[in-house]
Structure 1
């Protein structure tokens, strides 16, 4: 399908071309404080809420959740920080309670941290209400969801940011500066993914005090993510969580800004890990041992780019393994890999030997990390959650373009339904939609790194 609206419908089109992760001094903040609402105060929502509450330039004005336990925990966080109690919605367990929050208005922005299937409808409703959106990954479930989110943003002009925190990881940001400086030469191949043992996330005992592990329940008998996330592994087969890996790779290769994805295909292995976990933890007689999981244990996606690069993503969440994104950035001068924290640059490294990456990271440390490393201490995911919320809030205050914008959001997230389609069609290679309608040719790269910022 083609988008109904063009970029001309976006009232901030000119400014969007100049968007950067860091706001230059020229974009002086026009607001000193912003009022933000949050939809979804579960485990992830509470992490993001903490970052909002830590800030003096944010008033958490409204909270919405249909689970009283989680809403109560969020209110406890607010009280702990000594902040005014926000207006709350959802105590009546009405799934549409968020609409009352939006209708009440008086919000400068909203953060969505709900189960995936709610992201698109909630973001669309917020944009229609002219409330800027910071949405947790993913942007939607179906491919049509992505077109609908995009078209709503283009029609309303309401800012939308995908809250992809790995783009703000310390080494990832240093490598981006290295890419911009030409350290790796011309980029040729990249890799990333989401390789994270989620078995104890997808199953638990249903006890709110133990959201991770302790049992093999999911769905109505589960708690937290086990209540909703596991069902996606039952009925879907694809790369269900691509943005952690593809976000930085897309930034490195200037996707939607002089480059684009052109083709995609995906392969999936057999599904064994989740069944084996249920049997080992709950016994072969447990009812969930009869569940037929559709999600392949390791899902591998290959993307081709207009400028000749290839990118490999792997989704690996059902088998025992340590956490890893598995980044690899390779060019004509050398490569970096995060798993071994090593780098090899021809002419500077010994032939056929790795160098430790730390010295390079120190040299190319991003100015944001130089400035805010101490402030970010204690924030979720090694400080990344501070930076992603910081970027969203600073853009709201300056009324500036979002650093991870609507085109980034739908392009990265659409990998999921496209991967599902590829697998379902016997691993067929598919054309990748151009969500920019050709404007990728003229849009400029973001992330201008300069000590002036």
Structure 2
């Protein structure tokens, strides 16, 4: 009865956000258990046999002088995105959507004194569709709970909009294929908002790899190690406890993309290399169940969580690529550890490591000295950091990387440039979650990784992180 109630509450909370349609609810009712992803993987195998509709890798959409944006989801991430975008030249904020009018009112205050006068959408569970269906919006920015990401992204592309969607872009393999097929058919960008690809050291090491500093890349490591127990169990944290619910009945790497994205770009995954197979193992849960029990002693609200099947504390997933490289990805949001995304790059000539701080680079068996590090940074700092790095630190957003991501997206759309992250990245990086769940449920047995490019990875060009003669989008400090 508790499981049934929890599923009911999960669906009800999404409907309560005012962002769920019938198709969304159907997706939410799918519960991943054991080898329940097998059907999705079989479907994916069938999809792979088909031909590519249109290759979105390197696709340059027609230039947009103005990028007119509609935002949906104004909880934890959305409000900051609205404010960041208000500083960027060529942006028009046309719509704000959330079922909670108070959230919209808070965001409107950040736009006071600007030229942005968005229309507001908070009237019922399908109001977001009205915003998506408008003819005067070019880009929809999705910052809702995870289960809504794919349904909204697909609807947006079908409505003729480019899509920027928070991580993860999809929860199942079927959803990954939906994103790919829709983007290819509509020729609309679907970018997952993986902000960590735009952090300063990650961009530095990407540029170093592009210029051969590390030699042949052998191995990479990434992670999301972030103690979220207090926040996940906070009744005033995530709306309707949705993120805590995501950690129930699913055991694998539920949030792989922060550590994985930068490593995939450095290894040219989807553009010269491809994931082949993975194996995944989780520890038991030593934290979340006990927290639920402790809280239930004081507050009956948490009683339903005392019998929940929480995911294990630490998940470690290993990936082998077609070209023989290896990737380790870890996920732990319930152990009392310092924050870390690890970010290790290991090559035949050098290596880099970001955590624990300070950031380090090694040649041979020794870390570079301080003056040597400064010389490397001076030589390899990419154009984008030189252009907007200092401004990004002023605007903020996880130290500035969020702003760099948003600025880069707008600059690419305004200049008709290919995006750094395309729909194949969104699908592949998100697919780690259901694939890892299947491996964990089968005693860490290896699982094949679908090729969402359908073989085009062999000829796709690596990401060009230079400004490519563009970079002409100004930052309007002070709005």
Shorter-chain TM-score tier: 0.7 to 0.9
- The residue number in structure 2 matching 1:48 is 81
Q: State whether structure 2 residue 328 is matched by structure 1 residue 312.
A: yes
RMSD: 2.3
Once residues 465 and 385 of structure 2 are traced to their aligned partners in structure 1, the CA distance between those partners, rounded to angstroms, is 15
Say whether the 8 Å CA contact 1:190–1:329 is kept in structure 2: yes
Aligned to 1:189: 219
Distance of 1:295 and 1:320 partners within structure 2: 16
CA contact (8 A) 1:266 1:301 kept: yes
Q: Post-superposition shift, 1:278? A: 4.0
- TM-score, length of structure 1 as denominator length: 0.87
What is the DSSP-based 3-state SS (H/G/I as helix, E as strand, rest coil) of the residue aligned with 2:133? helix
Matched, 1:415 2:432: yes
Q: How far apart, in 2, do the equivalents of 1:16 and 1:159 lie? A: 10
Partner of 2:246: 232
The Cα of 1:106 is off from its aligned counterpart by: 1.2
Work out which of the residue numbers 17, 29, 33 in structure 1 matches 2:58: 17
Tell me if structure 1 keeps the 8 A contact 2:80–2:397.
yes
Match of 2:127 in 1: 97
Q: Would the alpha carbon gap of residues 449 and 76 (structure 1) be closer, same or farther in structure 2, given more than 3 Å must change?
A: closer
CA displacement, residues 312-364 of structure 1 (integer Å, 9 cap, x when unaligned): 00001011112110111001112111114222112xxxx45564545433331
- What TM-score does the superposition give when structure 2 sets the normalisation length? 0.82
Q: Aligned residue for 2:282?
A: 268
Deviation at 1:30, TM superposition (A): 4.0
Conservation of the 8 A alpha-carbon contact between 1:238 and 1:419: yes
- Measured in 2, the distance between the counterparts of 1:132 and 1:86 equals 18
2:120 paired residue among 88, 92, 115: 88
Equivalence for 1:303: 319
Displacement of 1:447: 2.3
Q: CA deviation at 1:275?
A: 2.7
Give how far 1:413 is off: 0.7
Give the gaps of 5 or more residues in structure 2: 1-43, 471-479
Quick check: 2:220–2:344 contact (8 Å CA) kept in 1? yes
Unaligned runs of at least 5 residues, structure 1: 20-26, 212-223
In the aligned structure 2, how far is the partner of 1:78 from the partner of 1:176? 35
CA distance in 2, matches of 1:59, 1:410: 28
**Cα distance change on mapping 1:163 and 1:6 into 2, 3 Å:** farther
CA contact (8 A) 1:343 1:355 kept: no
Give, in whole Å, the separation in 1 of the partners of 2:184 and 2:67. 23
CA distance in 2, matches of 1:77, 1:450: 30
Instruction: Note the C-alpha offset of 1:56.
Output: 3.1
- What SS is found at the alignment partner of 1:43? coil
- Identify the residue that residue 177 of structure 2 maps to in structure 1: 147
CA contact (8 A) 1:175 1:361 kept: no
Number of residue pairs aligned between Structure 1 and Structure 2? 419
